[in-house]
Amino acid sequence: MKFQLLVSSGLLALASAAAVQAPRKSYSGYKVFRVDVGSDATRLNDVVDKLGLSTWKGRPRPNSQADIVVPPSQLAAFEAEVAGLKKITMHEDLGLSIEDETTFGVYAAGSANATWFNAYHPYKDHIQFLKDLQASYPTRSQIITSGSSNNGNPITGIHFWGDSGKGKPAVVFHGTVHAREWITGKVVEYLAYHLLTNSNDAEIKGFLNKYDFYFFPVVNPDGFIYTQTNDRLWRKNRQSNSGSSCVGRDINRNWPYQWSLSGGASTNACADDYKGRAQSDAPETTALASFLRTTKANQGLKLFIDWHAYSQLFMTPYGYSCTAVAPKNAELQSLAQGAARAIRAVHGTSFKTGPICSTIYKATGNSVDYANDVAGAEYTFTTELRDTGRYGFVLPANQIKPSGEEAWAGVRYLLQNMK
């Protein structure tokens, strides 16, 4: 009997492990097309729905371009459905592109140096990199968390300051809000690394003595881990949804501000932009919102940037409305335009600027609108980093460092010119 119980227990354990660790999704043979939508978006939306396809930049909109992922089994049907529409191929074989990108770099603990930006890395290495960076500057930095994820992973960041000590108005950056946007975490880490390793530079010393910096490279740790173990193109968190087999909430459509408006997020639990059943019902959103409010109350919140990819945009509030105008809108637009000029001066990379809704699409329950109107940040922006569509979410590792360099130029402009 004892042996039978042990065998049964072992089988249950194996079954449980198999249930937790599903097979990694293969994108072998998948293609990604950019299609000119034209004035009739209904046709392309019908094709997406009919064939069950996924899109990379939201649903097709009139007079825009739609980036559509097509599995091998649907290629012939897709070609027939979009006959006559102009299109280009972004990825001839998405599986091969992902394979090239996910050749992870090897990170040796204790070596927080610039080689970190030569490759992408597993999640555990991101945490170790932050710890090693902090250990290199123990008197002017600390590892912090802003709460925990749905699966209990701490939302880990680094807080650093200058010779004048802590408690000054805060600069807060979020990366990897959407799990598949790997470049964003690397860019936030680049900015932290650049500021700390150049902390004796006169200009940077001035920034560090004027502001406290709080950088969170991966605010969606569960989703990010899932992109590395199961599905490279996963976007949401990993929260279960009652009554649905679909998993996850879009934590940038779940913030408790202008959440209930229609047209800026999905009510379908299977959609990539699912808003949740109630505002702030994602643990990550609740934790991050609380951190912003507490920081504002304790020391002031000077600048908040939510880093995303892709499309090369430097945007301002609002996302929830294309007609509402943010306070200080003229100043925000001027700063965004200046940041875009500074970015372009580094590697020639062009970023468009403007309010979220009119520049990319309507987005309700987003972090920038919340930071601006509820948390009370003095300046709020969101970016869409490289590129404009050649690689999309699967950005080669050789673009990490230049992305960081140009992002620093944009941030530097803001730090120089905010009032």
- Catalytic: 384? yes
Question: CA-CA distance, 90 to 69, in Å (whole number)?
Answer: 10
**Cβ 286 vs Cβ 147: under 8 Å:** yes
Which tokens is 4 given? Answer: 């039978």
CA distance 34 to 139: 49
C-alpha angle with apex 105: 103 to 107, nearest 5 degrees? Answer: 155
Helix ranges (H only) for 230-328 are 283-299
Q: Is the bond preceding residue 318 a cis peptide, omega within 30 degrees?
A: yes
**How many other CB atoms sit within 10 Å of the CB of residue 49?**
10
Alpha carbon distance, N-terminus to C-terminus of the chain: 76
Instruction: Mark residue 300 as left, alpha or beta (left: phi above 0; alpha: psi -120 to 50; beta: remaining).
Output: left
The sheet with strand 65-70 has its strands ordered as 54-55, 65-70, 31-36, 87-91
Catalytic residue among 203, 384, 405, 406: 384
DSSP β-ladder status, 141-148 and 154-160: antiparallel
Query: Distance (Å, rounded) from C-alpha 189 to C-alpha 176?
Result: 11
Q: What is the arrangement of strands in the sheet containing 170-174, beginning at the earlier edge strand?
A: 141-148, 154-160, 212-216, 170-174, 301-309, 379-385, 313-316, 352-355
Using DSSP, state whether 57 is helix, strand or coil: coil
Q: What are phi and psi of 169, to 5 degrees?
A: -50, 140
Cα separation, 350 vs 392, whole angstroms: 16
Enzyme catalytic residues:
384
